[in-house]
Amino acid sequence: MLESALRLTGVYRFYERRLQSRVEKDEVPGHIGIILDGNRRWASSMGVSEGIGHVEGANRAEELLDWCHELKIRTVTLYVLSTENLDRTPEELRDLFRLIEARLNRLLTDERIVRYQVRVKAIGQLDLLPDSIRALLTAVERKTEGYQEHYLNIAVAYGGRAEITDMVRSVAQDVKDGRLSPEAITEDTVSKRLYTSYLPNQEPDLIIRTSGEERMSGFMLWQGAYSELVFVDVFWPSFRKIDLMRAILTYQRRTRRHGK
């Protein structure tokens, strides 16, 4: 593909090194969330099938692991598949599930997970996924559950409203059973019942959405309340390391007040 060829040029490599030196002069976000958007539109623009668009998108997600390690980003949450995406045609879902299964198999044997000490966890309504994918997610989680250097969260069959609904049910059940009084419910009570509760830093410092769309689409609605948002006018399969670094530079230029 043209994007891959451009990345091999000397000019691109010079610009990439220059950007990285600028990024490294300031504090990088500890937790980045990325809404991977635009696979199908990229495929249409390139005159190829939607399946190829999803494959190229999966390739970028694999490259991202190296980029984040090089930039010393500790936690990454990828919005891979929303609950709304599950309403797509049976044919597209079949191809998506096959691709997810194939990439999870690769993740199981990816030596970078061990080298970087990455804990991998799926977040979402996993019961909506095929048994084969759930089994692979469980295997990856068990293999990496002892790692604490880096965290990779795969948001699949995920919806922010569903996450909050699950949290409310959990709190309501404890109140009903007498284990929790309404007066004792705090923000911390909520945070400890979210899908991301195991993370040392649940709240993304920066959320990036590709494809030019400027909305959250239900991504980390509680955790992202004070995240910096950067919308990138690039389809996900065309996303490059320089696009990631430009987003980080935008983040670094902002003053974070958290409402104060």
Which tokens in the block code for residue 118? Answer: 């990455």
Residue 62's nearest CA partner among 99, 25, 89, 94 is: 99
CA torsion, ordered 55, 67, 229, 232, to nearest 10 deg: -50
Q: How far apart are CA 149 and CA 52, in angstroms?
A: 33
CB 2 within 8 A of CB 56: no
Residue with tokens 């990856």: 140
**CA angle, 29 as apex, 68 and 138 as ends, to 5°?**
55
Spot the catalytic one: 26, 59, 85, 95.
Answer: 85
C-beta atoms surrounding 38 within 10 Å: 25
Task: Let me know if 85 is a catalytic residue.
Answer: yes
Collect all residues with Cβ–Cβ distance below 8 Å to 251 and sequence separation of at least 6.
29, 205, 206, 228, 230
Q: How far apart are CA 182 and CA 166, in angstroms?
A: 17
Please count the CA atoms within 13 angstroms of the CA of 1 that sit on its side-chain side.
20
DSSP 3-state assignment of 155?
A: strand
Q: E strands within 147-222?
A: 150-158, 206-209
CB 71 within 8 A of CB 248: yes
Task: Let me know if 188 is a catalytic residue.
Answer: no
Please count the CA atoms within 13 angstroms of the CA of 228 that sit on its side-chain side.
19
**Catalytic site positions:** 37, 85
